Structure 1
Amino acid sequence: MAVVGNSIGGWIAAELGTLNSDRISSVTLVNAVGIHVPGHPIADTFGLTPVELSRLSFHDPSKFRFDPSALSEARRAAMAANSATLQVYSGPHTMADPTLAERLAKVAHPTLVAWGASDQIVDADYGRAYAQAVPDAEFRLLPGTGHMPQSETPGQLLPVVWDFADAHAAGRPRP
């Protein structure tokens, strides 16, 4: 099984990779958070409005205009609950586990770290450091893309993810 995650989902995917389960054939981290990289902080997104978050998340935020006033009260409540849950998981303003980088050094699965070149939540050098933390990990920079390539440039991201997963599918030797 190929494990793929973006942002905090990438952190979860990285954690799964550290388990070294034989059920996992590859791990793909897309603009993942979860480690501390000196000089490359993770933006504190919890206090941002959706419009401010969009400016940090997309290469071209004008293509992803968001009008929070158009949301229903139920949708706003769900977004607030999701944010509160993320804060519990990630800790207050850290979005990192101080033990993860050390544990990544023991990952034995083929790992790809894909990163939007225009990500302002976590910059590309943070992504490079993530890739360096995992033995033999590949790093792919996605031009014209921010923090959420699955939304912004799926035509660029999906072939990278599929090709990597296919190349490392269970039963296939690692090149």
Structure 2
Amino acid sequence: MTTDLSTLLTVTASGPATGRPVLVLHGGGGPATVAPIAEHFARTAPTLLPTHPGWNGTPRPENLARVTDLAGAYLRLLRERRLSDVLVVGSSLGGWIGAELAAADPDGLISGLVLMNSVGIEVDGEPVRDFFSLDARGLAEYAYHDSERFYADPASLPAERLALVQGNMAALRVFSGGPAMSDPTLRARLAAVTVPTLVLWGESDRITTPAYGKEYAASFPVARFEVVAEAGHLPHLERPERTFALLDDFAERTGRG
């Protein structure tokens, strides 16, 4: 029996009714972390920003427990909405989902893939930082170029906000499989992905290092690797002008229209 996507996914749609569709996929921090990306594209393109099941208090069915499950659900979303020539932009865990989407897209609905400081593959000598072992201070120091600007003392957060963060972390642990945050089979499968790909990385990221990102790009037959200086795991938050310039250039080069 096929699950009704309307009960499975929470999706915010914005932007004009016509144009090249953009699917923006968030990481462990939730949709707020990529909202600026969605807002940027929504100025000129129909843009979808899902909240992954389990984040922000949304329900997570038991049959959704792996990144491949999420990728399958989003591929169904594209089919049911009759979308094609889709640009997929994924941040961190969202990049892993995007990579799985591109690897499981037999109909060629996706025409461009952007991975931003993504997790998902295994790289010898460059393990993904154990995200779950870090406290708030450690997370800020490993994830951002300017840690003081983005550090939030948990003691200063309202109870509702703290509960939301804890719920998002629990969902992240389920889908990522814990500290490894990778699928040992993914890298080999990316060798068959021919969709144009941009792998974009914050130079100061110590969750997933630029060396890890360079290997991620090398996993695809053809991929462009770009580094954003003075930025960490979320380059669009620390260096939006440079990041959006790279995104816009890639979008312009890869559309089929």
Q: Which runs of 4+ in 1 moved over 6 A?
A: none
Task: Find the counterpart in structure 2 of residue 13 from structure 1.
Answer: 98
1:54 aligns with 2:140: yes
SS at 2:110 equivalent? coil
Tell me the alpha carbon deviations over residues 82-105 of structure 1, each in whole angstroms, 9 at most, x when there is no partner: 101111101121100011001100
Tell me the alpha carbon deviations over residues 49-82 of structure 1, each in whole angstroms, 9 at most, x when there is no partner: 2221010011111222312212111111111111
**Cα distance in structure 2, aligned partners of 1:31 and 1:152:** 13
Task: Find the counterpart in structure 1 of residue 112 from structure 2.
Answer: 26
SS at 1:25 equivalent? strand
Task: Find the counterpart in structure 2 of residue 154 from structure 1.
Answer: 240
**Cα distance in structure 1, aligned partners of 2:205 and 2:179:** 18
SS at 2:128 equivalent? coil
RMSD: 1.1
SS at 1:115 equivalent? strand
SS at 1:162 equivalent? helix
SS at 1:46 equivalent? helix
SS at 2:227 equivalent? strand
Q: Is the 8 A contact 2:145 2:232 kept in 1?
A: yes
Which of 178, 200, 205 is equivalent to 1:119? 205
> TM-score of the superposition, structure 1-length normalised?
0.94
Which of 127, 147, 167 is equivalent to 1:81? 167
Aligned AA for 1:164? F
Which of 153, 157, 165 is equivalent to 1:67? 153
1:169 aligns with 2:244: no
**Cα distance in structure 2, aligned partners of 1:73 and 1:42:** 30
Q: Which deviates more from structure 2 when the two are superposed, residues 28-37 or residues 146-155?
A: 146-155
Aligned AA for 1:114? L
**Higher RCO structure (Cα 8 Å, ≥6 apart):** 1
Unaligned runs of 5+ in 2: 1-85
Q: How many residues align?
A: 171
Q: Is the 8 A contact 2:136 2:151 kept in 1?
A: no
Unaligned runs of 5+ in 1: none
Q: Is the 8 A contact 2:142 2:206 kept in 1?
A: yes
SS at 1:95 equivalent? coil
Cα deviation, residue 47, structure 1: 2.5
> TM-score of the superposition, structure 2-length normalised?
0.65
Tell me the alpha carbon deviations over residues 90-149 of structure 1, each in whole angstroms, 9 at most, x when there is no partner: 112110001100110010100010011111001111000000001110100111111111
SS at 1:76 equivalent? helix
Task: Find the counterpart in structure 2 of residue 95 from structure 1.
Answer: 181
SS at 2:213 equivalent? helix
**Cα distance in structure 1, aligned partners of 2:225 and 2:251:** 14
**Cα distance in structure 1, aligned partners of 2:158 and 2:248:** 36
SS at 2:201 equivalent? strand
**Cα distance in structure 2, aligned partners of 1:16 and 1:53:** 28
Aligned AA for 1:113? V
